[in-house]
Structures are given as structure tokens and as C-alpha cells.
Amino acid sequence: MAYTCHSLSTTWEFWKYEIPLVAFEFRHVLDALLALTALSASRQRPRYWSTLDGRMVSAEEGEFATPLSDAPLNTGWKQADRARRSMIEQAGADSMVLRSTDPNGDMLEISRRYFSMALEGHQKALANLNVKNFRATYISSVMVSYYSFFTLSESAEGGDSLMLDPMKWFRLSKGTVYIIDQWKEAVGERWFLEAGGTYGEPDLSDGDELFRPIHYEPFKYLLEPVHGDVIAEEDRIAYEHSLSYIGLMYKGIVQQTESPLATHRRVLAFPARVPDRFAQLVEAHQPRAIAFLAHVLASIKLAEPRSSWFRGIAQRQVPLICMALPPSWSEMVQWPLQIIREDNISPNMPS
């Protein structure tokens, strides 16, 4: 996690120094931490130590690594490099051929095991929330939410998993709000001082800014009637606020006004920050709410070049989401489908 946290959060110092201390005390936090770390490792190219380079280097497919490569170091850099190349060309029985590992291989399986244990421990902690475990349970909730989202890019091979359904990611993320509410009720505003290390840029506490109507302009067509399906008045605020959040997130990605880590925070906080009514509409599989979700995932496709954690999520999930919609809603998801079909990702405006 000392390395993984730098690609995960704007508050990487908290993840690097504080969360491991909590993990030593609470096993479900440790399991969640190890699940994320193993997941990150499963997506890295294999590496080995190169004495000539003085560092770990990425292994190319079919490359030879030989223990003899250290022998000629006293002959100078250029001669040593030539000697190493010669050894590679003449690699024998004491050499090994480096083969790239399957990203869905051993480390992914290890991460899944840790996640399963983390989820079990987290659920037990939820059933016994108290002043002593609020902070730990909140932290594990955040990590469970992260893991469930980042693994939406994985295949369904190996059986059912909580990792494969964006609806379950939504539900797990809303669970974080429940913990915060219970925490506030127990200790008052002190909860924020205890949890504040997990908060960073961008500021998601200003509802007036998050939900300004101007933000939903790129996607305002999602509020229009669809073959007689008109937004009910009791649902309008939920839809408008949620769409403003999505639009602000989209602008930050395409205009690159936010760092990749800030985008992580905004995307991952989406289920917890939008109105509760919108979450209920998602749970009820209302077509309009599902179309909103397709636009969230398509937007992160545009962020893939700057965020390795997002890679593959839209490609896998957007078609599944769109296929689940009634045919009359196909026009509303043309933009998400267009985004995932394009080889060269461009921040084209929806129309």
C-alpha cells in the first residue's frame, strides 16, 4: 500500500501512514488493505532486478534473465552491456525465459480471497457499530467500495462475485453514508476530525456548487421525456442534482481541470453524494437512472489514459447496462456506446 496509495487517493499520506496502523488493530481493515494491494499487483507487468540498471525493470515477453549478467560489471558500462546482450543471445540451461503473467491469475485470486474476508469482517463490524470501531468500519467501507468499483473491469469467470455488478457497488457505497450518520449521532461533529484524513480535494461538501444546474448542460437530454415517460415531480430534484454531479465530473475529466486522483474521489463518491432518492431509483432499475449510470461509466472511459484503475470498466459494463434497457431508451445511451466503440478516445461533447 506504500506504493499503491500514490495511485489511489489525494490523501495518500493518510493511506500510507494512518490506515496501516488501524489495520494492525482491526483485521477486516487489514484484509481490505491487502485486497486492494493484491489487486494493484495483479495489474502490473512482471519485473525483475537489473544490476546494470540498478533498479527493477519491466520484463518483456520472451526476454531472457540470466544470473551471469552481473559477472562483467568491472569491465565498464558499455562492455558490460555488450556482454549482457551476448549472454542473452547464448542463454542456456541456467537462464529462464520471462513470460508475462495473466492479470487474472494468482494475484487476482489472492485479492479476491482477501476481499471476501474483508467483506465478512466488515459486515460483522457493521452489526456491532460502536465508538471504538466507527473509524475502522468507516475505513473498511471506503476500501470495500473502492474494490467493488475497480473490479468492475474483471470478467465473470470463476463464479459469482460482488465485484461484477455496478448496482452492488452503488449499494456498498451508500453503506458508507449509513456509517457516517451513525458516527455523527454517537459523537457529534467530532467524527469529521477523526475521519478527516480520508478527505481531500475536491471538496464535495458544497452542495450548492455540486448541484448547480449549469453543470448538467452536456447531458440535459437525459431529463427529457422518453416515449411518454416523464420525470415525476417527486423525482425531479434527485435526477437534476445527480445529473449536475455527473456533468461536473465530466467537465473535470475532459477539460483536465482536476488531477486523476481528484477524479477518483469524485467518481467513487458519486453513490454516496447524490440524493438518496436517486439511489432508490437505481435500485429499482428505473431506465432513466440506469441511463445516468451508463454516462458515469462512459465518462471514466475518457479518464483511462490518466488513471490505470479505471481501465476496462466502461468497456465491460456499458454494453451490459445498455442491453438491459428497454428498446425505447436506446437513443438515450448512444453517447456512452459511442465512447466505448472509439479506438482513439476523444472528449467529444454528447449530442
User: What's the CA gap between 222 and 240, in Å, rounded?
Assistant: 10
Percent of the chain with pLDDT over 70: 74
Burial 237-252 (b: 16+ CB within 10 A, else e): ebbbbbbbbbbbbbbb
Q: What is the pLDDT of residue 70?
A: 45
DSSP 3-state of 345: coil
DSSP code string of 253-299: HHTT-S-HHHHHHHHHTHHHHS-HHHHHHHHTT-HHHHHHHHHHHHH
Is pLDDT of 122 > 60?
yes
Quote the CA–CA distance of 345 and 331 in Å, as a whole number.
21
* Domain containing residue 225: 207-341
Q: Do 216 and 192 fall within a single domain?
A: no
Give yes or no: residues 186 and 280 share one domain: no
CA distances from 145 to 151, 214, 244 (A): 10, 29, 22
CB atoms within 10 A of CB 176: 21
Computed from CA positions of residues 13, 201, 39, 172, in that sequence, does the dihedral angle turn out positive or negative?
positive
- pLDDT given for residue 53 in this prediction: 60
Question: pLDDT tens-digit profile of 289-324?
Answer: 999 999 999 999 999 988 889 999 999 999 999 999
Q: Are residues 160 and 223 in the same domain?
A: no
End-of-domain residue from the set 198, 226, 257: 198
Q: pLDDT at residue 197 above 70?
A: no
Same domain for 122 and 231, yes or no, is no
Cell of 214: 449549469
Same-domain check for residues 259 and 139: no
More confident residue, 126 or 87: 126
Asked if 153 and 249 sit in the same domain, the reply is no
Q: What number of other Cβ atoms are within 10 A of residue 136's Cβ?
A: 22
Write down which residue in 147, 163, 198 finishes a domain. Answer: 198
- 181/218 same-domain check: no
3-class secondary-structure state, position 57: strand
d(CA 246, CA 345): 19
Q: What is the residue type of 224?
A: E
Number of domains in the chain: 2
**For residue 48, pLDDT beyond 60:** no
Asked if 17 and 157 sit in the same domain, the reply is yes
Q: Is 82 among the domain residues?
A: no
C-alpha cell at 167: 448496482
